[in-house]
Amino acid sequence: MGIRVDTDSRKLIGGIKKFINSSYLGKWATVGILIGIVAGFGATIFYYLLQFTTNYFLGGITGFFPPNPIGEIQAPLSMSPHYFLIPLSTALGGLGAGLLIYFFAPEAEGHGTDAAIDAFHNKNGFIRKRVPIIKMIASALTIGSGGSAGREGPTAQISAGFGSYIGSLLGLSVKDRRIAVAAGIGAGIGSIFKSPFGGAILSAEILYSAGDMEVESLIPAFIASPVGYVIFASFTNFTPIFGNGVNYSFFHPFNLIFYAILGAVAGLVGKFYTYIFYRLKDVFSKIKLKRYLLPMIGGAATGTIAIFFPEVTGMGYGYIDYLIDGKIGLIRVNYFVLPLLLVFVSVILAKIIATSFTISSGGSGGVFAPSLVIGGFVGAAIWNVVYLVNPAIMPSPAPFVIVGMMALFAGVGRTPIAVILMVSEMTGTLALMIPSMVAVVISYFIVGPNYSIYKNQVKSRADSPAHRGEYNIPVLAQVSADQVMTKDPVSINPSISVADAERIMSDKHLKRLPVCVDGKVVGMVTSLDLKNVKPADVNLVSITNVMTRNVIYSYPDDSLLKVFRIMTVNGIGGIPIISKGEGRLLGIVTMSDIYKAYQRYDTQLAGDRKE
């Protein structure tokens, strides 16, 4: 009986594999729905686990309950909070998370989305099955104890991990398993943030830092993300996280100036945020203690900051809700009084440092939520300045807060399209589309790809190991001109006749010749140049009169990619390679040389992929 059951199971799985691999739509409809189901239920479980740990860990120890946004379960009232106990809570949460991660899944430390990105690019889409579970529990301890982190990392790893598992179970190719992981990232984030459209776009955009997209992940993500969202919202509610209360109409083009300023400030703050985040990570990497103790130290530091700035605890969405609703009086610091603008600036700095201590020390959580909070307070600070100048320009802080959220994460997360859609879904309004586009583009440009918060992003598909060999760019970029050039090429003196040059070209089967004096290139001549001379004059006209004097050249250490671009832009079929400084002729590279080099290296890469 056992043998028959085992055989029947193999036949069933074999049948499913055959069906899935028989058509594109059948494959991704099946895989997408399965990923979406896991994303929805995984997000739901983590959501309630996080509510539980927050209420009974941070709330139980300190009596302080961070506010939740309007679209989620409302937190209990903080009747008589003992803020000075927050460091104890965060330290214990960090220790618990550290022990779990250290002994069961070291790759679960830090922000999980970056780990999923790493799996896509560098690990053939493989994620160990235990990682998502450990990540979920460790993040619940980190965030629920008061650590400054977000919940997108765990949900992204849960659904991305399942995408990896289902890809292996169903015998998908390595390429398809990677796509399933990318779709899982989008489905998990889209589910728990109730932003299915933005989450689907995020799956394609978050892998790269310089504007490229993994377009193959869009179809499975557009299937998985809505499925996950519907399941999650069915257990919670369908109200956007920040409600539907934003009433704003864009009809003053002049205001775009202020949104442009907001984008610039958000970009600069985002760059500072990433810098501090990774500098602290370097500091913790040099501390000679057991790694499971480091999140405890980071948690204690975060808790100390929270004594004075409770806004840094947890995700901080409730405080963003206060800003959007105009409840500015509920944003305050403990134990001393500051002007409102300094309160906003202080919270920005405190949230940056607290998030860096929490996650860079090895704690578990995401960086999306803290980035939105930092961006929201940047928007509030800019609004406060504008309001002090002229209250009539923008009576409510909501538009600046919402656009600030978009602008900051678009810069540090390198996801300009996805974040506009996601925050629009989270706030229930598309009215800020034009201002957000202005601010997002400016922030995105200022931060740049080198300051991404996700260090495992690569600039483009051409730079990803997942796409190695699919493009000529990585092949040509790693080969220098001196590796393929024809060394000591035939050259001519400018004084010889056109007839002599034609004989040399014919005898050597050449289409172009460098023209040199004492070894230095002074011109180039092609067969077409010679044909323009009348047959009766070929013995009378010298090369000096027909050669191209403004020579386009390259150096021996230039990559073939650079050489190729120079040749295509200038419409030439060959280019002399000269020495730097002296300008002496060393060789020549033709389009044929580049093509042969590409074929040779591409064949080597194809052999590596088969192995």
Q: Where are the beta strands (DSSP E) in 324-365?
A: none
Q: Is the pLDDT of residue 424 over 80?
A: yes
Instruction: Write out the H or E segment, with its range, that includes residue 525.
Output: strand 520-526
DSSP 3-state of 337: coil
Q: Are 74 and 162 contacting, i.e. CB atoms less than 8 angstroms apart?
A: no
Count of Cβ atoms closer than 10 Å to residue 73 Cβ: 13
Instruction: Give the pLDDT score at 492.
Output: 94
pLDDT bin (cut points 50, 70, 90) of residue 111 is confident
Q: Tell me the C-alpha distance between 241 and 68, whole Å.
A: 9
> Tens digits of per-residue pLDDT, 240-273?
999 876 777 777 899 999 999 999 999 999 999 9
Q: Tell me the C-alpha distance between 408 and 115, whole Å.
A: 21
Instruction: Give the pLDDT score at 473.
Output: 52
Nearest to 376 by CA among 423, 445, 429, 418: 423
Backbone angles phi, psi at 512, to 5 degrees: -155, 155
Q: Tell me the C-alpha distance between 158 and 191, whole Å.
A: 12
Backbone angles phi, psi at 334, to 5 degrees: -95, 145
Percent of the chain at pLDDT exceeding 70: 93
Count of Cβ atoms closer than 10 Å to residue 455 Cβ: 15
Q: 543: which 2 tokens? A: 């090369």
Place of tokens 């109730």: 194
Q: Tell me the C-alpha distance between 538 and 141, whole Å.
A: 86
| Per-domain residue ranges of the chain | 2-235, 253-460, 473-610
Do 2-235 and 473-610 agree at the fold level?
no
What number is the average pLDDT over the span 144-172? 92
Mean pLDDT of the chain: 91
Q: 47: which 2 tokens? A: 């959501």
Q: Which fold has domain 253-460?
A: Clc chloride channel (1.10.3080)
Q: Tell me the C-alpha distance between 440 and 585, whole Å.
A: 48
Instruction: Give the pLDDT score at 188.
Output: 96
Q: Tell me the C-alpha distance between 471 and 475, whole Å.
A: 7
Q: Tell me the C-alpha distance between 228 and 222, whole Å.
A: 10
Backbone angles phi, psi at 588, to 5 degrees: -145, 140
Q: Tell me the C-alpha distance between 531 and 540, whole Å.
A: 14
Full-model pTM = 0.78
Q: Are 402 and 323 contacting, i.e. CB atoms less than 8 angstroms apart?
A: no
What number is the average pLDDT over the span 421-436? 92
DSSP 3-state of 45: helix
Place of tokens 């995105």: 444
Q: Tell me the C-alpha distance between 121 and 107, whole Å.
A: 15
Please tell me the least confidently modeled range out of 1-5, 89-93, 426-430: 1-5
Residue type, 508: K
What is the total residue count of the chain? 611
What number is the average pLDDT over the span 576-604? 85
Place of tokens 């619940």: 140
Query: Which CATH number is 2-235 given?
Result: 1.10.3080.10
Q: Tell me the C-alpha distance between 112 and 105, whole Å.
A: 12
Instruction: Give the pLDDT score at 6.
Output: 58
Q: Which fold has domain 473-610?
A: CBS-domain (3.10.580)
Instruction: Give the pLDDT score at 8.
Output: 64
